[in-house]
Amino acid sequence: MDTKYWNAAEGAPEQTDRAVAEAAALLREGGIVAFPTETVYGLGADATDGRAVAGIFAAKGRPQDNPLIVHIADREQADALAAGIGPVERALMERFWPGPLTLVLPARPGAVPKEVTAGLDTVGVRMPAHPLALRLIRAAGRPLAAPSANRSGRPSPTTAAHVLADLGGRIGGVLDGGPAGIGVESTVVRVDEAGRRIHVLRPGGVTADQLREAAPHMDIADVSESAKEAGVPRAPGMKYTHYAPQGELVIVRCADPGADPAEARERIARRIRRELEALRAQGVKTGVLAFQGEGRPEEAYPADLVLDLGPADRPEAAARELYAALRRFDEFGSEAIFAEALPESGIGRAVMNRLRKASGGRILDA
């Protein structure tokens, strides 16, 4: 399949108009088009067309039991998709849409085919905060089902080049809107039936503090990494290994939660250096993902490739660069990668969640 490339990042407004119109026409014909959002690039299809949506699963190699998020541009589209929207959900929409929050809502029977919901009786809905995404949804004239536009298991794409590397030749086209801003996916939440608790199924661009502030009378429960419990809804996608580079990624954290940040960083660095020396002696190609942003990590670590994602207390920068960094370790051919643990405040929680997925649970204590 020939994959069309539309540059809508730079260039004249008429060029962007034409790109959006062509991409929308392809979507209306049942095609599959990747587009930018404020979190990561999405791989879109007409959410009302089961055949088109099945094409997304085929292109990505995605497990059939993992439902898709439906992207909308107007509130009315949410009303058409959901069987009912409660007051807490309304308040969250008011506060965070357009933006990186996905609400899992009871699905209106028949509104979307089973391919979208993977047969669940709920549907994930979000209004992205990216002008090109919103224009594309409006021009297509229908909601777009869209997972992240990577091959299943790979890091999510934050540029059009990442999309083409994974899916070139397998999809109808990609609309290039430049690099995604936030860098990790949306926060997926579900409000419990009693209307008292917000379950965070996947941490993401909206932080727990922001949810707490928007719904101060609600309990916020992050269940994204808790063991399966009866009655707790799950995001089916969270059980799969994800975002994993080809090399083996290991997280190194400080075993003492009471250690002050400088001491914790030093212990982590010492442990990583020790691991590196042992591996280098065996001729293994090594990498380090550092969040120190001081003391020049390239010099601190005797590794073949050291990528520094900025200061540990500015997790926004780490979020923006994380997936591109994981892809770079692959291009470089790193066989063993050590990632410094990051404090889990703010969006650092989402970054650590993705790193734990990428590590397949390999964690070393320093």
Applying CB under 5 A, the residues found at the interface with Mg ion are 148
- DSSP notation for 115-132: HHHTT-SEEEEE----HH
Q: Give the footprint of ligand TXA on residues 305-344 (CB under 6 A).
A: none
- How far CA 186 is from CA of 71, 130, 218, 311, 347, in Å, comes to 12, 13, 20, 23, 11
Least distance from C-beta 237 to ligand TXA, angstroms?
2
Tokens representing residue 197 in the block: 């608790």
Q: How far is the CB of 156 from ligand TXA (least distance, A)?
A: 7
Q: How far is the CB of 354 from Mg ion (least distance, A)?
A: 10
**Cα distance between residue 85 and residue 174, in whole Å:** 33
Q: How far is the CB of 353 from Mg ion (least distance, A)?
A: 13
The contact pattern for ligand TXA, residues 84-113, with x = CB under 6 A and - = no contact, is ----------------x-x-x---------
Q: Give min distance, CB of 113 to Mg ion, in A.
A: 20
| Interacting partner of 304 out of Mg ion, ligand TXA, none (Cβ under 5 to 8 A depending on kind) | none
Q: Which is nearer to ligand TXA, 269 or 358 (CB)?
A: 358
186 binds, among ligand TXA, Mg ion, none (CB under 5 to 8 A by kind): ligand TXA
Site for ligand TXA in 9-68 (CB under 6 A): 37, 39-40, 42, 66-68
Restricting to residues 157-216, which ones interact with ligand TXA according to CB under 6 A? 185-186, 188, 201-202
- Rule CB under 6 A: is residue 120 a binding residue for ligand TXA? yes
Q: Which is nearer to Mg ion, 40 or 309 (CB)?
A: 40
What are the strands of the beta sheet with 4-7, ordered from one edge?
Answer: 4-7, 173-176, 33-35, 42-46, 144-145, 69-71, 122-126, 101-106, 187-191, 197-202, 219-222
Considering only residues 236 to 255 of the shown chain, the ones binding ligand TXA according to CB under 6 A are 236-238
Please, which residue, 148 or 353, has the CB nearer to Mg ion?
148
- Evaluated on CA atoms 321, 323, 324, 326, the torsion sign reads positive
Q: How far is the CB of 234 from ligand TXA (least distance, A)?
A: 7
User: Helix, strand, or coil here: 187?
Assistant: strand
Pairing of the two strands 173-176 and 144-145: unpaired
Residue in the shown chain whose Cβ atom is closest to ligand TXA: 237
- Full DSSP string of 304-331: SEEEE---TT-HHHHHHHHHHHHHHHHH
The interface partner of residue 178, options being ligand TXA, Mg ion, none and the CB cut-off 5 to 8 Å by kind, is none
CA atoms within 13 A on the CB side of 177: 27
CA-based nearest residue to 127, from 193, 206, 233, 55: 206
DSSP assignment string, 60-87: HT--TTS--EEE-SSHHHHHHHBS---H
Binding residue count for ligand TXA, defined by CB under 6 A: 30
327 makes contact, choosing from Mg ion, ligand TXA, none, with CB < 5 to 8 Å by partner type, with: none
| Identity of the residue numbered 96 | F
User: What stretch of H or E contains 197?
Assistant: strand 197-202
CB 36, min distance to ligand TXA, A: 9
Angle at 165 (CA atoms; ends 335, 129), nearest 5 degrees: 110
Which residue number places its CB atom closest to Mg ion? 148
Q: Which does 69 bind (CB under 5 to 8 A by kind): Mg ion, ligand TXA, none?
A: ligand TXA
Is there binding between residue 146 and ligand TXA (CB under 6 A)?
yes
User: In whole angstroms, what is the distance from residue 147 CA to residue 172 CA?
Assistant: 15
Residue 69: phi and psi, rounded to 5, are: -85, 135
Asked if residue 124 binds ligand TXA (CB under 6 A), the reply is yes
Residues that bind ligand TXA (CB under 6 A): 37, 39-40, 42, 66-69, 100, 102, 104, 117, 120, 122-124, 126, 128, 146-148, 185-186, 188, 201-202, 235-238
